[in-house]
Structures are given as C-alpha cells and as structure tokens.
Structure 1
Amino acid sequence: MDYTKINAKTIDQWVEEGWQWGIPLSHEAFVAAKEGDWEMLLTPTKPVPKAWYPDLKGKKVLGLASGGGQQMPIFTALGAECTVLDYSSKQIESEKLVAEREGYTIELLQADMTQPLPFADGTFDMIFHPVSNVYIEDVLPVWMECYRVLKPSGRLLAGLDNGFNFLFDEGDESTIKYALPFNPLKNPEHLEALEKSNSGVQFSHTIEEQIRGQLQAGFRLLDVYEDTNGEGFLHEQGVPTFWATLAVKEA
C-alpha cells in the first residue's frame, strides 16, 4: 500500500470540502500580520508563544507538511523567506493562491516527507511542522532530516498528536474501542475504521517516538505545551490530546 499517496489524495478531498486547515489566509489577515497583529497554531486551539520564534526578518523558514496558505503567508509578512513542502496538491495550490494574491515569492514543493528532504545541509533557520506525523508510520527519519537541513541554532516548532484520539471511534469519545498502537498497516480493524470515516491512513505515536525521537536526532528540547481537540467530549473533560514542542539544533 502506497499509503502516503492515499493520504495526499484524502487531504485534497478534505480541502475541496472546506477543511479548516486548508482555508487560505485572507488578505485582511495578511495585512494585519504585516502590522504586527498575528498568531499561529501548531495544535487546534493554543497559539504558539511569540517567544518561540526567532526574529524572522531575512530568515529561511521551511513549512514541513504545512501547506494550505495559513502559516507561510504570515511568516512572509514578517520578513521571512519561505519554502513549503507538502504532499497534497490542493494545499500547495492554496499557498500559490495567497502568494500570487499578495505578490510575494515562495518556493513550493509537492513531496513526501517520508523520503529524504530535497534540501542541502544547514539550509533553514526554522522549521514549522504542524500536526502531520499522524499521516506517517515512522517518525524518527523525519526528525533526523529536520536536524540535517537546519542551520546550527536553528529551531524546530512541531505540533504532535499524543495518540489518545486513536482510542476512540469517530463521533464517540466516551468509550474506548481500539488498543494502541494504532497502525492500519498492521491491524485490519484500524484500516477498516479509517476507510469508513474517510480518514486516510493514520498512525498513533508514543512520547518516545515524538519527543525522545527529537532528542535522538540531536535536538535540545527548550519548551513544550499541551492542547485539546478544541471541541467534543474529550475537550469538555479537559483531556490533552496534543503536544507542541520547541527544539533547537545546538550550534
């Protein structure tokens, strides 16, 4: 199964249906960002602390699996030189739409992040990586590639699903149905559930994979916070289902 291609096509469909993470930034929000009024999400509800960002003027930023025309326009408005790598053609189209509308240049690459990243060592000052590791089976190679393509002192900002959502069926967050790890390539029941809800091919990941993996790649963890789904039973009970991490490549 070429599951990453399935996920790219699934996300294309979600974008066409109005997926919240595929709605491009408005012109008004772009102008506001240029005037210093902006915020960014790595997870559903909590804005990333401004202290996590370097001075972005003249910095090279990679949006890793971060297409959709939501974050890179803001970084561009703040003076960064941006590149987006995403496997969804619709997410890439959204980036192109905003860039053409606002008159700036951005490098757009439709590519699979499970493969070696097509960049030289030490290319970027910052990588912005919203929750997208759920769409790949093996996370460590991504952390290794992030470390490689960052400059010394470069920052990795990542949104991470902590796996808790995968315990439940869609629409019923009050009853545990599935055991972890959730891996549809190894468990037919998991694949059947995803196919039924048109959710692509998704995977749960542990703290060892998500955070220890960053440490194994060579990063130093600087900060972390938790977030909820933003709606639904788990959110109402205050159950954290996401993490966001700030890590740095040591100079």
Structure 2
Amino acid sequence: DGDSWVLNGHKRWIGNGHAADVTVVYARDEADGEVKAFVVEKIDGEYPAGYNPVVIEGKVGKRSILQADITIDNVRVSNDNQLEFGQSFKDVNRVLQATRGGASWEALGHAMAAFEHASRYALNREQFGAPIANYQLVQEKLATMLADVTTMQLMCMRLAELQTRGEDNQAIASMVKMVTSRKALAVCREARDMMGGNGLLLENHVARHLTDMEVISTYEGTDSMQALIVGRAITGTSAFTTKRRS
C-alpha cells in the first residue's frame, strides 16, 4: 500500500513474542502469493497499533520461556522493514533448516540428562536388598537408552559438520530433527518409567525433561511433518496436501 505494507493474521506459540523489541513476521503477499519477511519493531517501548500479543498460560513444558498468541490487525510497516532475503517460502525453509538443527541439539541434551538421572537412580535405588541396576531388565533399558543417546550425538555432529561446510539440505535437517525428537522422547519416557512414581517428582528432574521434549518434538515442525519432507526427498513425490492455499 504505497510506501508501506499492511499485515493481517494470527499466530500462536511464538517464543518471547509478548515482549521482543523486534519481531520477524512471515506473511503471504496477496499480489504474487509469495511468503515474505517483515520486521515489526517496538517504538518507544510500544508495539504498533494492531499488533496484539497475549501470553499463553498453563503450559506443562518449556516453562522457562513464555509463548505468545499474536493477533495482527492492519499493522503497517514501511518498505524498509521488508527483509531482503525473505522473498519466498524457500527463504523461510532455509531458516527452518537451520533452526531444526538447533532443536535437534536441544533434544539430545534432554535425552542425555534423562539418561544420567536414570542411571544414578538405578545405582542408588534398592529393591529386594540390591540396587535395581543389578537387574537384567534395568540394564537392558539403560543399554538401549545409551545407544539412542549415542545415535543422536552422531547425527547432530554430522549435521553440524555439513552445516559448517554448507552441504546440508532440508531433508537432512528434517531427518535429524525427526530421529532426535523420537529417540529423546523414548529415552525420557523410559527414564520416567524406570524411576516409577519418583519419576513424576519435579525434584528428580526427569518429568521436566519429558514435558520439555513434548514441546521440542512439536516446534520447527512435528516429527510427522519431518517424515513427509524426508519422504519427498526419497521418492520425488510430495505427500503434503494438494489443495490450493487460500
């Protein structure tokens, strides 16, 4: 609209979206159908008229960061606030390709922590006169958890190497995000199960890692979405909806 853009839309689950001084908004241009990136800034500590973020209350996971439900109603931004390298959905995917790597490392961290807590618990918790770590089933669980953690470490390191050399791609990043999310959830659930009711206590930490992992497995695309991206790379056929976007 002249020398400015008019933004409209609604988006939930934006980290720190209630307080950030600078927010990048991706919006579809009605003129050419492309997704473009715009900077929305606070002015004198206030968001522009029409930009309304509300903190989402009642989360069980990732409570260390607040997410916002943002309504954007006829928010005007100048042409200068359109990002040069945010001109299409391909540009958005480049951002997601990088952030999925970060989410994979987060998943690895939660899995490592859950494994360490479970290992210590198994060595110290006694049942029938011996630490539960002495029992075959517990050792089998610990071995599987360690194998999953090690797999995640290798995948994250390999992705980091490819990113450093500029040789990564969307399918590789999605595969690592998919695998690390699934394995980290499995490790955290196994750790919680091994600790019985004690695994539900906040003081034992595993429940926090588990609920945080439920969040990580969702953002930057669920593992099912990552699977479709990988599947498209394998088959050359997209299984995403073929319905025309409105």
Q: TM-score range by the shorter chain?
A: under 0.3
Query: Is the radius of gyration larger for structure 1 or structure 2?
Result: 2
Give the TM-score taking structure 2 as reference length: 0.28
Give the TM-score taking structure 1 as reference length: 0.27
Between structures 1 and 2, the one with greater helix share: 2
